[in-house]
Amino acid sequence: MSASAIPTVPIPLSVEQAEAMEQRQIKKHHVAIVLLHWFNAISWFLGLATGAGLIVSPAYRFAPMWYLQMMEGIFGSRANMLRFHIAVGLTWTAVFLVYAIFGFRNYLRIEVLQHEIGLDNDDVHWLKVRTLLLLGRTKDPLPPQGAYNAGQKLLFLVIVACMAGLLLSGLVIWRAYFSSYFAIGLIRFASLLHAVCAFVLICAILVHIYAAVWVKGSIHAMLGGTVTPGWAWKHHRAWFRQITHAAHPRTGPD
């Protein structure tokens, strides 16, 4: 089947077509992407768990008292918790830098900058139609999207911005090594920025988890790296047409 034979608008599939599509698997995420995704998830969870336990001021406390006491009991002291929090941040930064340096040409430049972040006219149109659908102002179907839709790209941009903000602000407020080089006003601003970025990142992750649970097949895609053709056709039709065309280039009229 050539790419031109794939429907460009949602139409119901026959039972035979649906069953045939469910039998095959196509690769959506490489192993390195899957590993990085779950490494990030673990790092963010540990950073959030310890970061929430470090905010003990009654005026700005994020977690309840029982949580603060539990975390301090696990680590023995807030100083140890802070060391672990910093270690998690440094480990995440080191792994990400190594991944970025060695994977820039094949991953960051192509996958991230072009496919995961880069917004094109189709993405803008998708956002417009999606907004009108949420407001009940249109019944038009969503336009076909690539491997990542416009909503995923915007969420990814927010997450990247928050990660950069956490890293830079964390270095400024790291008292043992860096804070002595900065004015107190900048340290206070960095502390506020660190908290804001953490809060926004938490919200973004919750949206990400909700979308992954809501869209059946998304979790399997990030666990095994593959999806069914039916899933790809339904959620990322432009990408499905692209990979189908690459696998079965048209050599003549249909």
What CATH number is associated with residue 168? 1.20.950.20
What is the pLDDT, as a whole number, of residue 85?
Answer: 94
What is the pLDDT, as a whole number, of residue 59?
Answer: 76
**pTM metric for this prediction:** 0.79
pLDDT digits 0-9 by tens, 28-80: 888 878 888 899 999 999 999 999 999 888 777 788 999 999 999 999 999 99
User: Quick check: 138 pLDDT over 70?
Assistant: yes
Is 132 part of a structural domain of the chain? no
What is the pLDDT, as a whole number, of residue 252?
Answer: 44
* Ranges 13-27, 120-134, 137-151: which has the least confidence: 13-27
Cα 51 from chain centroid (whole Å): 20
Which among 205, 218, 192 is positioned nearest to 43, based on CA atoms?
Answer: 205
Is 127 part of a structural domain of the chain? no
What is the pLDDT, as a whole number, of residue 248?
Answer: 60
By the 8 A CB rule, do 143 and 125 touch?
A: yes
Q: Which domain holds residue 67?
A: 25-117+148-227
Of 29-38, 166-175, 192-201, the range with the highest mean pLDDT is 192-201
What is the pLDDT, as a whole number, of residue 179?
Answer: 66
Is 20 part of a structural domain of the chain? no
Is 134 part of a structural domain of the chain? no
Give me the phi and psi of 12, to 5 degrees please: -65, 140
pLDDT digits 0-9 by tens, 76-121: 999 999 999 999 999 998 988 888 787 666 666 666 666 667 777 8
Indicate the number of domains in the chain.
Answer: 1
User: Quick check: 3 pLDDT over 60?
Assistant: no
Percentage of the chain exceeding pLDDT 90: 32
Average pLDDT, the chain: 83
Q: Which residue has the higher pLDDT, 17 or 180?
A: 180
Is 56 part of a structural domain of the chain? yes
Is 155 part of a structural domain of the chain? yes
What does the pLDDT average to over 235-249? 79
Is 128 part of a structural domain of the chain? no
* Ranges 111-125, 155-169, 194-208: which has the least confidence: 111-125
Task: For residue 218, give both structure tokens.
Answer: 């998304």
What is the pLDDT, as a whole number, of residue 11?
Answer: 58
User: Quick check: 254 pLDDT over 70?
Assistant: no
Is 14 part of a structural domain of the chain? no
Q: Quick one: CA torsion of 124, 128, 131, 137, rounded to 10 degrees?
A: -170
